Amino acid sequence: MKIIYPQIIRTFARYNTHIEMKEIQNKVISLFSGAGGLDIGFEKAGFKVAVAIEVDSACCETLRANKPSLPIINKSITDVTGDEILSTANLKVGEAALVIGGPPCQSFSLAGLRKGLEDERGKLLFEFVRVVRETLPVGFVLENVKGLTNWDKGRALNLLIEELQKPIYYNGKEYKYNIAPPKVLDAVNYGAPQYRERLILVGNRIGKEYQYPKPQKEPYRTVWDAIGNLPEPERPSEVALRVSSCIKDRIEKYGY
């Protein structure tokens, strides 16, 4: 599940109040939805997820269990057209408030092999671009790992921004996305009980400047603050123990 940045998302919601409501429906197209972690943050900020696209069937079952009425497309994003997304969401081109999502990050992560754009998963960044261009939302929010900023001296990130900034022509009009400078934010500074740095990329096609919210001051929220009222856990599974061991090894090797 992706980390949620409530303060960042609420700021975007306030920014959206300056848009004429006849232009948007406050509906979101969610890509690479996973179990819905990023979506929850946007819903808490007042948006409504109109459709979720996710390739993992187990994640889709989780989404269906928690949100029975949510339209879900259980396919690889490479097999989904903008028309199918809009039809499933009951939207037309230009009506969505946002396209949101965190494309697979393993190709750029410091904890991985860092094959970047040489990895098929790394190329999925540009499926996000394609959906934005085909559905023409008012804005978009993309989330990814910090490693995207320095892979091949920033080539992937620069190419991503370049593609997102290209003009789009629809019904005789030209549209172009204004993109805020990408920024690496740490979730601990925005209410999450975890040090977790993530690159955030925000853009809109209505000429609005976006200001990232200021980090909150310490004390930070602790894990106990977040889950201290939960019942005692069961014995960890073999999978959980294996994953925790990998995390420990990563911390020792990379320092995070």
Q: Give the closest residue to 2 by CA, choosing from 51, 46, 42, 57.
A: 42
Rg for the chain, CA atoms, rounded: 18
Q: For residues 201 and 142, what is the distance between their CA atoms, to the nearest angstrom?
A: 5
Beta partners for residue 178, in sequence order: 204
User: Three-state DSSP class for 52?
Assistant: strand
Pairing of strands 139-145, 98-101: parallel
How many helical (H) and strand (E) elements, i.e. helices and strands, does the chain have?
8, 10
Active site residue 105: yes
- 193 prior amide bond cis, ω within 30: no
Q: Strand pairing partners for 185? A: 198
Q: What is the rounded CA–CA span in Å between residue 58 and residue 77?
A: 16
Catalytic site residues?
Answer: 105
